[in-house]
Amino acid sequence: MKLLDRVFYSIKEKPVKSLLILLVVCLLGTFMSASFSIYQSTINLEKKIKEDISPIVLIDWGVYVSNEEEKEKITNQIKKDERVSFVENRYGLNSRDYDLLITYENGENVLNEEHCNLLGVDNTILSDYLDNEIFLLSGEMLEQNKNEKEIFYVQISDRTVMYENLDLGDGLVFYLKPRSYTSTLNGETTIIYPPFPNLKLENIKVVGIGENNSNRDGRKYHTDETKFADSNLHYVSKYTMEQLSKLLVDVYKDITQMYPDYFYGYKLEDLGKMYLNQTYIRLKNIDDLKGFISDVHKLDKGDIKDIYSFSDSINDVGSIVDRMSLISIITLIIACVSAVILLSLVIQIFVHERRHEIGIFISLGESKKNIIKQILLEVLIIGMLGISLSVFSGNIIGSRLSEGLLDKQMEQYTQVNTNLSEDAYQLKEEEIVNAFDTSITMEYVVSVYAGGLIVLVVSCIYPTRSILKMKARKMLM
């Protein structure tokens, strides 16, 4: 009888013993597969998070004029950094006593807004567009033409009114009017208008029209609807912002001389000036994030208010991955060792019970090597069937266990991140949970089968070694 025929005959004729081995392998294989499932899910979690996250850094310089030359020097160094793929500087205006309205060239008010949100940028492509926070409906973003004042209008919320009859190439006017104040004396409230002149900047060319992406996650706080719920956002070129600043600086020189007491306590030379508010940076590789932020801190001479990125969240996710990976590895080691010990004992018992059968084969001239092969093949055939079943049962149990572990880890993550600033870049709990994938993959299946095969082979070493020491005469007695 051929070796394989004997193997299948033995399995068929000893169904109880074969079933017992199958159940032992399936049970232990389930724990092994569950450990593999948890380990694979935790490793893939960090990998997927890094793939889905854009390596973005946002430098917050503060909302005031301070050492602008040094700020520009730092950003120029950042632009030359080989790790950087995109940089956008965002500028604000120290218009302390003025509100900005935008009108058509005929003087008609475009929007009934008390204050328009103006954001100066120095790039032709907007970072908000790269981050899918805004859509380009028509035209282009900004040309950054040094000889032309440009505006890119974006409707920020459904609660605001779209420009009526606004077309590309239209000329708009920035109208600056003195900001009114209220004063209460003896229970009577009076509106006070400072005696400052009205200002206007003409010929602002509409180069593009966009719309807010309602599906955006609102990470960058300058487009947060809760803060700009009743106004739209207007991107203007750096040149446009410089012209507006020049207009204000000139008028402030006159009014600070006329009303010096009105500006007591203020740094007069900063009034009306344009200032660098934020610098948006996109890196080529997320692995450079930590080192890049460290290098930026080295360049800083006290001008940076804060730096926002996902680095802290990624580190937190890394800690979650490390803890869950450690748990899965310990579980896997325990499962493998237990499987080897239990299977070795079961196989040893079966070999001992079959010593008479083995003695007959040896007496008939069968080599001990072929007998060991037969036992090994029997165990492998039954064992691999059990491993096949455990691939699915282990994944189910592993998914339940890993979800429980993740929930516990996420409680700690949430407690830590609730103390962070709302302006900080941080991963949301839903993003982490959605990235945690426990589905059956080819990598998981291969790992389970490979691990199971090694355990089965190792489990057969000790029991089959005893066959080499057996004597046919003693086995037949």
Position 113 scores a pLDDT of 47
**The token pair that represents 434 in the structure block:** 């959605």
- CA separation, residue 404 to residues 44, 326, 400 (Å): 17, 15, 6
Q: Check residue 407 and give its pLDDT.
A: 67
Helix (H, G, I), strand (E, B) or coil at 98: strand
- How large is the average pLDDT for residues 302-322? 73
The pLDDT of residue 59 is above 70: yes
- Mean pLDDT for the chain? 77
Residue 109 scores a pLDDT above 50: yes
- Locus of tokens 């632009």: 79
**CA 157 – CA 101 distance, rounded (Å):** 18
- Summarize the confidence of residues 324-343 as an average pLDDT: 85
Helix (H, G, I), strand (E, B) or coil at 74: helix
Under a CB-based contact definition with an 8 Å cutoff, are residues 78 and 296 in contact? yes
> What's the pLDDT score for residue 398?
79
Q: Distance between CA atoms of 120 and 207, rounded to whole angstroms?
A: 14
What is the phi/psi pair of residue 263, to 5°?
A: -110, 25
What integer pLDDT is reported at residue 110 of this predicted model? 52
According to DSSP, the β-strands at 150-155 and 199-212 are parallel
Beta-strand (E) ranges in 114-198? 117-121, 134-139, 150-155, 171-178, 181-185, 188-192
Q: Which residue has the higher pLDDT, 162 or 280?
A: 280
421 is written with which tokens? 């600033």
Those residues whose C-beta lies under 8 Å from the C-beta of residue 24, and which sit 6 or more positions away, are: 342, 343, 346, 386
Q: What is the pLDDT of residues 383-426, one digit of tens each?
A: 899 899 888 888 888 777 777 766 665 565 554 444 434 444 55
What one-character-per-residue DSSP string does 382-396 give? HHHHHHHHHHHHHHH
Place of tokens 């046919």: 472
Position 89 pLDDT exceeds 90: yes
- Counting residues of the chain whose pLDDT is more than 70, the rounded percentage is 76
- The confidence score (pLDDT) of residue 161 equals 42
Q: Is 15 helix (H, G, I), strand (E, B) or coil?
A: helix
**pLDDT of the residue at 84:** 93
Split at pLDDT 50, 70, 90, the class of 146 is confident
The pLDDT of residue 416 = 43
User: Is residue 90 a contact partner of residue 71, using CB atoms and an 8 Å limit?
Assistant: no
**Of 49-58, 229-238, 277-286, minimum mean pLDDT range:** 229-238
Contact 50, 43 (CB under 8 A): no
Tell me, what DSSP letter sits at residue 179? Answer: P
Q: For the chain, state the CA radius of gyration.
A: 36
Q: What is the pLDDT of residues 334-348, one digit of tens each?
A: 888 888 888 888 888
| 353 to 15, 119, 349, 357: CA distances (angstroms) | 15, 85, 6, 9
For residue 339, the surrounding DSSP H or E stretch is helix 311-353
Q: What is the pLDDT averaged over residues 425-451?
A: 72
CB 437 within 8 A of CB 395: no
pLDDT over 90 at 87, yes or no: yes
334: which strand partners? none
In this prediction, residue 276 carries a pLDDT of 92
Instruction: Give the pLDDT confidence score for residue 79 in this predicted structure.
Output: 93
Give me the half-sphere count of Cα atoms (radius 13 Å) on the Cβ side of residue 30. 13
The alpha carbon of 161 is separated from its chain's Cα centroid by a whole number of angstroms, namely 34
Q: Which of 156-165, 226-235, 278-287, 394-403 has the lowest mean pLDDT?
A: 156-165
What pLDDT does residue 206 have?
A: 84
Using the predicted structure, report yes or no on whether residue 103 has a pLDDT greater than 60: yes
Half-sphere exposure of residue 80, counting CA atoms within 13 Å on the CB side? 6
Does pLDDT of 283 surpass 80? yes
Picking from 211, 222, 207, 240, the residue whose alpha carbon sits closest to that of residue 141 is 207
**pLDDT value at position 165?**
61
Report how far residue 384's alpha carbon sits from residue 433's, in angstroms, rounded to the nearest whole number.
Answer: 33
Listed range (88-102, 277-291, 361-375, 461-475) with the worst mean pLDDT: 461-475
pLDDT recorded at residue 49: 67
Q: Which of 281, 156, 141 is nearest to 213 (CA)?
A: 156
Give the number of residues written for the chain.
477
